[in-house]
Amino acid sequence: MRLKNRGFMLMLLGVVLLLSVGEIRAAEFSADVVTVFEGKESRGKVYVKGNRMRQEFPSASSTPNILIYNSDTRVVWMLRPQQKMYLEMPLTEEMVRDLMQAAKDRTGMKPLGSETVNGYPADKYETVFRTNGGEQRHYIWIAKKLGMIIKIESLDKSFSRDYRDIKEGGVPEAVLNPPAGYRKMSLP
């Protein structure tokens, strides 16, 4: 699998972020996520605990899209709350290799100094995410205390993601697994 388009890359950005700097510290926090893509703002939620992450983001319906990543077991769950179902997708060796390459491809990370982002001292970098279709240049801010990227912004300003109202600790195990009573869907 190659990361072919920006939409797919944005969906898996959470995995890349978790793999790239999440291993530095066993962060545990929840936050509101504000994403701006091509001038349109959307709001969601993120929960991080160690090597696991849950992202909730808006969909065309009133029910949010929910993805749960577990990099220890190399599984992604996509929840369908309206149907009380979930789809389990393994992170294949090829996907993990591509994502790890994107995460490790930080040799071009250029330090730009330190700034405070949403109350957290952070190191700012200019970096390049390489995909099959080219490269995308971004600024990233890594919170020193959390060891995680808490803000990312493309140099062309077409994309940004910002973690706001960060609350450390207190992430319940239940939000990092498919809920009890949900049925596992099968791919055709």
How much is the average pLDDT of 119-126? 94
What single letter denotes the amino acid at residue 187? L
For the four alpha carbons of 21, 23, 29 and 30, in that order, the dihedral sign comes to positive
- Percent of the chain topping pLDDT 70: 74
pTM across the whole model: 0.80
What mean pLDDT value characterizes the chain? 80
Query: Concatenated DSSP letters for 76-112?
Result: EEEEETTTTEEEEEE--HHHHHHHHHHHH--TT-EEE
Which residues lie closer than 8 Å to 26 by C-beta, 6 or more apart? 49, 50
* Structure-token pair, residue 133: 């279709």
Q: In this predicted structure, what is the pLDDT of residue 131?
A: 65
6-185: what fold?
outer membrane lipoprotein receptor (LolB), chain A (2.50.20)
Tens-place pLDDT, residues 51-103: 888 999 887 766 778 999 888 888 889 998 888 999 998 877 776 666 555 55
Lowest mean pLDDT among 45-49, 91-95, 171-175: 91-95
How much is the average pLDDT of 145-168? 92
Q: Where are the domains of the chain?
A: 6-185
Q: 164 and 34 in contact (C-beta within 8 Å)?
A: yes
* Structure-token pair, residue 98: 């591509």
* Structure-token pair, residue 118: 């949403």
Which residues lie closer than 8 Å to 51 by C-beta, 6 or more apart? 18, 22, 23, 70, 71, 72
Q: How far apart are the first and last CA of the chain?
A: 19
Q: 48 and 185 in contact (C-beta within 8 Å)?
A: no
- Of 91, 92, 77, residue with least CA distance to 183: 77
Q: In this predicted structure, what is the pLDDT of residue 21?
A: 44
Per-residue pLDDT at 12 exceeds 70: no
Q: In this predicted structure, what is the pLDDT of residue 72?
A: 81
Query: What is the dihedral angle through the alpha carbons of 82, 13, 185, 72, rounded to the nearest 10 degrees?
Result: -120
Q: 161 and 152 in contact (C-beta within 8 Å)?
A: yes
Comparing 177 with 65, the larger pLDDT belongs to 177
Q: State the Rg of the chain over Cα.
A: 16
